[in-house]
Amino acid sequence: MKRPANILLVEDNKMDVALTLDAFREARLENKIQLAANGQEALDYVFGHSKFSDRQKYPIPDIILLDLKLPGISGLDVLREIKNTNLVKRIPVIVLTSSREEGDRAMSYDLGANSYLVKPISFSGFIDVVRKISDYWFSLNVEPPR
Amino acid sequence: MKICYLIIKKPLLLNPTTRLISITDTHNSRLSEVRNYNSTHSIMKKTEEKTTEKLLREKDQLKIKVLELEKKLAERTSELQNARNELETFTYSVSHDLRAPLRAIMGFSEIISERYLNSFNEEAIQYFNFIREASENLGSLIDDLLKLSRLLQFKQKKELVDIEIIVNNVLKNLSEEIKEQKATIKLPEYIPSCKTSRFLLEQILHNLLHNALIYHKMDENPVVDISLKKDRKNITVAVKDNGIGIPEMFHEKIFNVFQRLHSQEEFPGTGIGLAIVKKAVEKLEGEVFVSSQPGFGATFTVILPIKNSNDGLE
């Protein structure tokens, strides 16, 4: 079996972070989850800048879970930057947001989001989402070449 | 022109000299008439020109004033439109932002109740369940607010709609409630099609039917009679129930946002359903009213105008 995928979770709300991490544990998934608490941190991590320059400790993510509503540099800005940069543009980016707004959906797909998921309101819903992400993106989907 | 006409027309039956004098006389008198006329005419013309000039000036001034007023009106309208848009966007984002903390409250209470509830004493369990119940109510409130604000922002598209499909959709979405309340739903044998907004009509029917199922008498299962009639001008939808009814003094008020007549314990609800109905009906330029007496059920009637139903789709 291949190694569990490395996930970068871009999320500023510490409660949503806790719920997501708990949902991964509850779904018995053993992925290594790295955290970025805002847009700048997300870009620093992806490009291996400043405190994330140690690639041993902070490996390039196999997949990115991206919240849209972030303070300062927004999730859409992060998405644009990633999808415009040759080295990292193939990393699948899953938008994970509470917004169903048409504008957000349109922009996300226009900028190259690989999937768009709406955060469920209940915890059991969260577990379900995390399981389905794992089933599809970590096992069914064939990863892009590095 | 006038002179020629006179000369030719005069009967010439007298002897030539008399004829000539007569003609000359007539000619002279006509000539002076014409001169007089011309001079009067030129005076009149001058006065007329002056008046016209004045009128034109006044007209121009009026035009400028009208333009100014129109400009002011346009500015006002756009200001109002902006304020309205802002308010609608505000409602949307507020109801939206309320979801994040709610997700935390619901999510963590779900985790606690699954993992730690057996270490709670009776009082703690009761209070904890209050938190969960309240957060669920808050959830439906936010959902309904979002529905309402989406409706306010909704740009309606009219299309030929098979109302039967909409009715079936609504019944499917409410199937759990229908089963739970052991309700009987009566439908007309023939359900017409018409040109309207699918989304708005679905909102109207869903909320009216939902209310008919919720506000039923304790000792009686709901019986809901849906009637749909179409004539050349209107489509009329009536939803009749055998529920608790509504006192006449509330027949208008119930369509206001957050207007409720019962406590959460008696009948759960957010007070937004009928406001959604009213807004949707207004968007379709129709009307909605209720006829009801306490204890004798209620009938909600919606009349929607159908325009150019034979036209192509808008």
- pLDDT-derived band at B309 (thresholds 50, 70, 90) equals very low
Q: In Å, how far are B50, B159, B175 from B172, measured between CA atoms? A: 78, 22, 5
What ipTM score was computed for the predicted complex, to two decimals? 0.76
Q: Strand B287-292 to strand A63-66: parallel, antiparallel, or no bridges (unpaired)?
A: unpaired
B314 and B157 in contact (C-beta within 8 Å)? yes
B169 and B203 in contact (C-beta within 8 Å)? no
- Of A81, A121, A21, A10, residue with least CA distance to B100: A121
**Helix boundaries (H) for B117-232:** 122-153, 163-173, 175-180, 198-214
Answer yes or no: do B107 and A126 touch at CB < 8 A.
Answer: yes
Answer yes or no: do B108 and A119 touch at CB < 8 A.
Answer: no
- pLDDT-derived band at A133 (thresholds 50, 70, 90) equals very high
Query: Which residues from chain A sit within 8 angstroms of residue B111, using beta carbons?
Result: 22, 123
- pLDDT-derived band at A51 (thresholds 50, 70, 90) equals very high
Average pLDDT of the segment spanning B21-31: 70
A44 and A51 in contact (C-beta within 8 Å)? yes
Q: Which residue of B has its CA nearest to A123?
A: B107
Q: CB contact, 8 Å: B140 with chain A?
A: no
Q: Please say if the pLDDT value at position B163 is more than 50.
A: yes
Provide the terminal-to-terminal Cα distance of chain B, rounded to the nearest Å. 61
Query: Which residues from chain A sit within 8 angstroms of residue B96, using beta carbons?
Result: 98-99, 101
User: From CA B194, how far away is CA B19, in angstroms rounded?
Assistant: 86
The percent of residues in chain B predicted with pLDDT above 70, rounded, is 89
Which residue in A22, A101, A119 is closest to B111 by CB distance?
A22
Domains of chain A, each with CATH number or no CATH: 6-140 (3.40.50.2300)
Q: Please say if the pLDDT value at position B313 is more than 80.
A: no
In which residue are the tokens 């300062």 written? A72
- Of A143, A3, A100, A62, residue with least CA distance to B95: A100
Q: What share of chain B is helix, strand, coil (3-state, %, to 5)?
A: 60, 15, 25
Residues sharing a CB contact under 8 Å with residue B307, sequence separation 6 or more, in sequence order: B195
Q: What pLDDT sits at residue A99?
A: 85
Is B140 strand, coil or helix? helix
State chain A's mean pLDDT as an integer: 93
User: From CA A25, how far away is CA A34, in angstroms rounded?
Assistant: 14
Q: What is the DSSP string of A81-143?
A: HHHT-TTTTTS-EEEEES---HHHHHHHHHHT-SEEEEPPSSHHHHHHHHHHHIIIIIIISPP
B246 and B274 in contact (C-beta within 8 Å)? no
In which residue are the tokens 């939808």 written? B237
- Count how many pairs of residues, chain A against chain B, have C-beta atoms within 8 Å: 41
Phi, psi of A117 (to 5 degrees): -120, 140
Answer yes or no: do A15 and B110 touch at CB < 8 A.
Answer: no
Lowest pLDDT segment from A63-67, B66-70, B305-309: B305-309
Lowest pLDDT segment from A60-69, A102-111, B189-198: B189-198
Answer yes or no: do A123 and B106 touch at CB < 8 A.
Answer: yes
Q: What pLDDT sits at residue B308?
A: 54
Average pLDDT of the segment spanning B78-87: 84
B7 and B22 in contact (C-beta within 8 Å)? no
Highest mean pLDDT among B19-23, B256-260, B294-298: B294-298
Answer yes or no: do A16 and B106 touch at CB < 8 A.
Answer: no
- Kind and range of the H or E run holding B21: helix B16-97
Q: Please say if the pLDDT value at position B153 is more than 80.
A: no
Answer yes or no: do A98 and B107 touch at CB < 8 A.
Answer: no
Average pLDDT of the segment spanning B145-171: 85
Q: In Å, how far are A84, B7, B70, B194, B263 from B206, measured between CA atoms? A: 45, 90, 42, 18, 22
Q: Please say if the pLDDT value at position B307 is more than 80.
A: no
Per-residue DSSP letter, A146: -
Is B65 strand, coil or helix? helix
Read off the tokens for A130.
């995390």
CATH of B157-305, one of 2.40.30.10, 3.30.565.10, 3.10.129.10, 3.10.20.600: 3.30.565.10
Answer yes or no: do A123 and B107 touch at CB < 8 A.
Answer: yes
Return the domain boundaries, chain B. 157-305
Average pLDDT of the segment spanning B237-262: 90
Q: Please say if the pLDDT value at position B36 is more than 50.
A: yes
Read off the tokens for B215.
């506000």
Q: What pLDDT sits at residue B297?
A: 94
Average pLDDT of the segment spanning B7-34: 63
Q: What is the pLDDT of residues B105-138, one digit of tens each?
A: 999 999 999 999 999 999 999 999 989 988 988 8
Read off the tokens for B256.
């206001």
- pLDDT-derived band at B6 (thresholds 50, 70, 90) equals very low
Average pLDDT of the segment spanning B148-177: 87
Lowest pLDDT segment from A50-64, A91-105, B11-25, B215-229: B11-25
Q: Please say if the pLDDT value at position A1 is more than 70.
A: no
Q: Strand B159-162 to strand B193-196: parallel, antiparallel, or no bridges (unpaired)?
A: antiparallel
- Of A96, A39, A97, residue with least CA distance to A71: A39
The percent of residues in chain A predicted with pLDDT above 70, rounded, is 99
Q: CB contact, 8 Å: B116 with chain A?
A: no
Q: Please say if the pLDDT value at position B47 is more than 90.
A: no
**How open is the CA angle B151-B155-B159, to the nearest 5 degrees?**
105
Query: Which residues from chain A sit within 8 angstroms of residue B107, using beta carbons?
Result: 15, 19, 122-123, 126
